[in-house]
Every structure is written in structure tokens, then in C-alpha cells.
Amino acid sequence: MLKQTPEQEDSNSKARKMVIGYPFALIFIGMVVNWLAFGFDPISVAMPDKLSIIGIIIAAVLLLANHTWLMTSTELTRIDHGLLTTPEEWAEKNREKADAAQAGWDALERRHNAHRNTTENTVYFAILAGLTLLVSPPAYLVLVWSVCFGVSRLAYTYSYFAANTDLRGIFMSLTLLPLYAMAGYLFVAMMMSF
């Protein structure tokens, strides 16, 4: 490992503090928005209201559009760069992976990373939104956070494909904010129920 200069060590220390503080800042923002815009109520298990269902439907359609964009872009990248999917396809075409240009592999990796990140975040969204639906949240809470999540995922995909790191960071934060906000709401509602 290369020895770092004091300036590099100081920069790394600041970066580590920012990375550690980042989720706590998003949790705080989500909780403040919940408190100011929606309030908190104790858990009361009931069928979801119409606005909450509308929010989930909008988010589902946006997430399906995002998935369609990701899978289509991935396949077009394979076609454009002559990349095949399985060892059988490479053998059938009598080609080797080493024959493909590195630029193609890099473009494909970008799509795979975007797809993987979307899948990881969507799992948590589904769990948190599903639970939030069942605890009789305040009007608009699920609608707002679900639409925010769906729109942010589309914008994240765009910024990832456009290789715009700053924009990608903003939309990653706007994707995480609804997750932390719903988790925070559930936690406070649970604590109020005791």
C-alpha cells in the first residue's frame, strides 16, 4: 500500500466522516419531513386507503418502466458490442470473450451495476411500503414517498447512463430518503403504540 501524504490522510478522514454521517442526515431529513408534513400516529392495522394504493400503483409503473429501460439498454449494449450472455452462446458462435473490446465490457458493466443497484433498493422499498400501507399512515405519506422513490429511480438510471456522477449522487439520495422516511415513520408509530 502506498504511503499517503498528510493532506491525503486528512482528505480521507473527512470523506470517511461524510460517508458515516450521510445516512444519519437522510434519516433526520426524512423524520423532519414526516413530522412537518404528515405527523405520526400509533400503529392501527387496517386496509390501505385509496391515496396509498394510488401511490403504490404509480411507483410500480415507474419502477416497471425503469426495469424495462435497464433491460433494453443492457441487451442493446450486448448487440452493439457483440457480447453474448452464456458460455453456450459464445461456443455456438465460435467466439471467445477475449475477442470483445474492453469498451463493450465497460458499457455492459455500467448497465449491470445500475440494474443491481435498482434491484437492491427496490427490495427495501417493497418491504417498507408494504408495511407502511398496513399501519394506517397519515393521508399522502405513502403517495408522496412512493412517487418520490419511483421518479428518483428513473432519474438515477438516467444519470448513471449519462455518467453524471454529481447528478447520480443527488438521485441516489432522493431514492434513499423515502426508504429512511418510511422506516422512520414505522419506528415512531411502533413506539407510540406501546
pTM score:
0.90
Q: Cβ(68)–Cβ(156) under 8 Å?
A: no
Task: Read off the pLDDT of residues 90-147 as tens digits, 9 standing for 90 and up.
Answer: 999 999 998 899 999 999 999 999 999 999 999 999 999 999 999 999 989 999 999 9
What are the boundaries of each domain within the chain?
10-192
Write the CA distances from 7 to 15, 17, 20, 21, 110, integer angstroms. 12, 15, 20, 21, 32
Give the pLDDT confidence score for residue 99 in this predicted structure: 87
Average pLDDT taken over every residue of the chain: 94
- Name the band, by pLDDT with cuts 50, 70 and 90, for residue 4: confident
Residue 1 has pLDDT above 70, yes or no: no
8-40 pLDDT per residue, tens: 777 788 888 888 999 999 999 999 999 999 999
Confidence (pLDDT) at 54? 97
Give the closest residue to 135 by CA, choosing from 180, 63, 184.
184
List pLDDT tens digits, range 39-98.
999 999 999 999 999 999 999 999 999 999 999 999 999 999 999 999 999 999 999 998
CATH class assigned to 10-192: mainly alpha
Q: What is the DSSP string of 30-83?
A: HHHHIIIII--------PPPHHHHHHHHHHHHHHHHHHHHHHHHHHHHHHHHT-
* The predicted structure's pLDDT at residue 161: 94
Distance CA 147, CA 63 (A): 10
